[in-house]
Chains A and B, each alone.
Chain A
C-alpha cells in the first residue's frame, strides 16, 4: 500500500523531529520537512504530498497566510496547528482554506487518528476548537450587527463617538475637531438618541465592541 505522504512545516526542528519520529515509526506515513513558507511551497510543488501539517506561526507570515496562498493551487490537505489556538485563529485558518486545525499538544495516537481521518475525507478539529470557532463566529456576527446600528450616525457623530470611545473629554473632543463644547454635547445627545443608549459610557462600549478601539488616557497611554 502506498504510504500517506506528509509534510511537517514548522520552524522548530525539535518539534519537527518528534512528529517525524512518530509518523515514520507507524510505517504508513512518509514524512518530509519544511522550516518556512518557501520550503513548504517547494515541497507541495515537487512532491504533491497528501497532507501538510502547517504551524500557525510558520515563518515568515504565519500559517494562515501560507494556507491562503497555497490552498487554491494545492491538491494537498492543509492542516494548521498551534500551541495556543484561539477561536479567531481557527476561524481564520479554515476561512483561508485549511482542511482542519489541531492542538500541537495533541497525543501521538490522536495525531495518527487525525491523519488517518484526513485520508478518509474527514476534517480534523478537536471538540474544544470547534467550540472556540463557533464562539468566534458568533462574536463576528455580533460585531456586524453592532456596526450595522452605527450606520444611522453622521460622519461627524462617528468622529465624536470614536473620541468618546478613546476616553476623551468634551473639551478634548472640541479641540480635536475644532468645534465648541456645546456642539460636542449636542452630537453626543444625538448619538445616544439614535443608538438608543443610556449613557456616554454605554456609547463608548458600543463603539469599542463594534470597532475594537482601546480606551486611551488623556496622556496618551492605553488603559
Chain B
C-alpha cells in the first residue's frame, strides 16, 4: 500500500482550539473514523501550519482561527467546522459560504455528520 493510500485510509482532522475539551468532543463524535490531532489556538500562523499538515478536515473554536483556516480549506477542499462552545454555535463552510447551526442543532450528532460528510466526500473525490 502506498503512502498516499495509507493517508486516505485514515483521514486526518486537525482541531485548533483554545478549549482542549473540544478535542474530546471531536474524537467522541468521530469514534475512530479519523485520526484527530489537537493544536492550541493562537499560535499565529494557523494558515501556514494547515498548509504544512494538510488535514482532511479542520475544526476551530474562534473567529480568528476560522478566518485563518478558510483559505486552506477552500484551496485543499477540506471540511472546515467552526464550533463556538460559549455561544453553542456550529458553522460549516460549504460551497464558499457558512451554514450555521445554533442551540439544539449545534450538537455532537451535527458535528459528526458535518465532519463525516466532508471526509467521505473528500475520499470519493481523491
Interface of A is mostly: helix
Whether the Cβ atoms of B28 and A104 lie closer than 8 Å is: no
Whether the Cβ atoms of A14 and B107 lie closer than 8 Å is: yes
The interface residues of chain A lying within 8 Å CB-to-CB of B26 are 18
Whether the Cβ atoms of B21 and A22 lie closer than 8 Å is: yes
Interface of B is mostly: helix
Q: Which of B14-29 contact A (CB under 8 A)?
A: 18-29
B71 adjacent to chain A (CB < 8 Å): no
A215 adjacent to chain B (CB < 8 Å): no
Whether the Cβ atoms of B106 and A18 lie closer than 8 Å is: no
Q: Kindly identify which residue among A11, A20, A83 contacts B28, using a CB–CB cutoff of 8 Å.
A: A20
Q: Kindly identify which residue among A11, A14, A106 contacts B25, using a CB–CB cutoff of 8 Å.
A: A14
A182 adjacent to chain B (CB < 8 Å): no
Q: Kindly identify which residue among A14, A84, A105 contacts B106, using a CB–CB cutoff of 8 Å.
A: A14
A136 adjacent to chain B (CB < 8 Å): no
A13 adjacent to chain B (CB < 8 Å): yes
Q: How far does the alpha carbon of A15 sit from the alpha carbon of B29 in the complex, in Å?
A: 11
Closest 4 CB pairs of A and B: A21-B28, A18-B25, A18-B24, A17-B108
User: Which A residues lie at the B interface, using CB under 8 A?
Assistant: 11-15, 17-22, 83-84, 104-108, 111
User: Which B residues lie at the A interface, using CB under 8 A?
Assistant: 18-29, 83, 85-86, 88, 90, 104, 106-108, 111
